[in-house]
Amino acid sequence: MTSRRLPRPRDLAPLLRFKRPVLSAKRRRLESALTIHDLRLAARRVTPRAPFDFGDGAAEGELSLQRARQAFEDVEFHPTVLHDVTEVDTSREVLGRRSSHPFAIAPIGFTRMMHSDGERAGAAAAAAFGIPFTLSTMGTTSIEDVAAVSGEGRRWFQLYLWKDRDRSMALVERARDAGYDTLLVTVDSAVAGARLRDVRNGMTIPPTLTPRTILNAIPRPRWWFDLLTTEPLAFASLDRWSGTVAALVDTMFDPSLGYEDLEWIRAQWPGRIVVKGVQSLHDARRIAATGVDGIVLSNHGGRQLDRAPVPFHLLPQVVREVGDDVEVWVDTGVMSGADIVAAVALGARNVLVGRAYVYGLMAGGRAGVDRSLELLSTQMRRTMRLLGAASLDDLGPHHVRQLRRLVPIE
């Protein structure tokens, strides 16, 4: 028989440790977020529907985004054992300069609507973390202001080519003068995708304050206070616009964009050029042959053509075909450091992180962006150790198997 006795306080003391209360709601929110999915839930709680859906949503039925995320979830890792992984090196050279991690913040517009810190938070956090930040043509902070907050950090500029070529080049010149070293030329936006959440929410610039919008924002006083007490929202690189984002794209962006335009941009831009929005092996080959420095396998985060190819599925074949000629990057669907490791193992030189950064921004401004980058880094390092890879160069296709749910009917 087991003998029993009443517990004594001095016996319980070593077994119990009470967590010190955290008075800051934002700090509690961020510290309790253990994944990017947690940050998404936190962002949804504190951000009104319209700006949250702008960052979170995709086009039409949002199948492109769902399939891209599913592709990463369907990865099967194959660890190698008995390797010394006491120290793990996540750094690598991207377009001729060392980056602390093989990922960068992707270009996303309208971020000051999602949180008043906007692009300033992303640029400052990226600089402190040692990765590049990409400013969107549709950004809500000026080219020069982003340069000021990023200091010595690396910055890239994402270019939509407009029908008015002179205005496009004026932006390019400002970016050059402000120390941006790379242009990401986006080529998958001949017209705007049907982002139905934005249509239903009346997403305009400035925001359309319908009764529904106001009622949805009332329980989120901090967001409301920030909106009313900071500078009015506008696209920092454009004239003021009173319509929807989709209407702006259709009005200003040029559906006649062709290969000759890449040559024209190259002739005027002294830095690196990366083409973003490549979705087939045929286009990857042809664009690589133009002499650009890199391509991004991307379906625009699922925000343009729904049912588009999954970029991660294209990665191994494209790397085999053109990886010696240009750097091959990938985006869309990245929600963890393990996703980044899988992409690097299959040959991606760099990964663009969009929503994962935006969820952190909405959840906590600059501190939230720091938290999202910290989570991605921690997950990367842990995954690499468990795979037996002490550096990115140790990763290879033997570590990853892509399990496909969508198999073409021959």
What local confidence, expressed as pLDDT, does residue 96 receive? 95
Q: Yes or no: say if 46 and 363 are a contact pair by the CB < 8 Å rule.
A: yes
405 vs 337: CA distance, rounded Å: 22
Per-residue pLDDT at 306 exceeds 70: yes
Question: Tell me, what's the pLDDT at 36?
Answer: 98
Element (H, E) at 119: helix 118-129
pLDDT at residue 102 tops 80: yes
Average pLDDT over residues 34-60: 95
Average of per-residue pLDDT values in the chain:
91
The rounded distance, in Å, linking the Cα atoms of 76 and 357 is 25
Q: What is the pLDDT of residue 244?
A: 61
Three-state DSSP at 185 gives strand
Which residue carries 């969009």 as its tokens?
354
pLDDT digits (tens, 9 = 90+) for 358-378: 999 999 999 999 999 999 999
Contact 52, 44 (CB under 8 A): yes
51: Cβ contacts below 8 Å, ≥ 6 apart: 110, 113, 114, 207, 223, 362
The reported pTM is 0.93
Q: Tens digits of per-residue pLDDT, 138-151?
A: 899 999 999 999 99
State the catalytic residue, choosing from 78, 300, 313, 399: 300
* Sequence-ordered list of residues with C-beta below 8 angstroms from that of 57, at least 6 positions apart, any chain: 195, 196, 197, 198, 303
Give the model confidence (pLDDT) of 169-191 as tens digits: 889 999 999 999 999 999 998 88
Whether residue 300 lies in the annotated active site: yes
User: Tens digits of per-residue pLDDT, 1-18?
Assistant: 788 878 777 777 777 777
Taking only the tens place, the pLDDT of each residue in 279-288 is 999 999 999 9
Q: What are the φ/ψ torsions at residue 279 (nearest 5 degrees)?
A: -135, 15
Domains and CATH numbers, the chain: 27-402 (3.20.20.70)
Residue 210: per-residue pLDDT: 67
Q: 156 CB contacts (<8 Å, ≥6 apart)?
A: 104, 107, 132, 133, 134, 135, 180, 181, 182, 183, 184, 274
Least confident stretch, 209-213, 263-267, 349-353: 209-213
